[in-house]
Amino acid sequence: MIECRLRPRNRRVRALWIACICLCLFLLFGMAAVAKTTLELWTKFADERLAPHRMLMEEYERLNPDIKIEYATVTGDYSTKLVVAIAAGAAPDVAQVFPTLSIPEFAHKGLIQPLDRFMTAAGIKANEFAPGAYESWRYDGKTWAMTCDIDVNMFYWHKEIFAREGLDPDAYPVTIDELDSLARRLTRTDGSGNLTRLGFVPWLGDWLTWAAPWNVEWYDAETRTVTADHTNAVAMMEWMASYALRYEPGQINALTARISNYHHGDAFLKELLAMQVTGPWLIGDMYQFAPGQWGMAPLPYPQQGLPNASTGNALTFVIPTGAKHPEEAFKFIHWRTDFEQSMKLLDMGRSHVPVRIQALRAFVRRFPDYLPVLDVLTGPNLKPFMPMMPVSAEYSRELRWAVDQVRSLQMTPQAALAQVTQRVQVRLDETLGK
Q: Does domain 152-311+387-432 match CATH 3.40.50.300?
A: no
What's the pLDDT at 32?
44
What's the pLDDT at 351?
67
Q: Which residues contact 305 (CB under 8 A, 6 or more apart)?
A: 176, 213, 214, 215, 232
Radius of gyration of the chain (CA): 28
- Mean pLDDT across 246-274: 92
Q: Is the pLDDT confidence value at 96 over 70?
A: yes
Specify the domain boundaries for CATH 3.40.190.10 within the chain: 37-147+314-337, 152-311+387-432
Q: Percent of the chain having pLDDT more than 70? A: 89
The continuous run of DSSP H or E covering 138 comes out as strand 138-139
Q: Is the pLDDT confidence value at 6 over 80?
A: no
What's the pLDDT at 8?
47
pLDDT band at 74 (very low <50, low <70, confident <90, very high): confident
Burial, 171: exposed, middle or buried (Cβ in 10 Å; 0-12, 13-18, 19+)? middle
Q: Model confidence over 219-255: pLDDT tens digits?
A: 999 999 999 999 999 999 999 999 999 999 999 999 9
- Mean pLDDT across 319-338: 96
- Mean pLDDT across 71-79: 84
CATH superfamily of 37-147+314-337: Periplasmic binding protein-like II (3.40.190.10)
- Which residues on neighbouring strands pair with residue 37, listed in sequence order? 67
Q: Percent of the chain having pLDDT more than 90? A: 66
How many residues comprise the chain? 434
Task: Residue 216: name the closest of 225, 207, 203, 227 by CA.
Answer: 227
Q: Model confidence over 123-181: pLDDT tens digits?
A: 999 999 999 889 999 999 999 999 988 889 999 999 999 999 999 999 999 999 999 99
Cα-based distances in Å from 115 to 107, 124, 142, 144, 257: 11, 11, 8, 6, 43
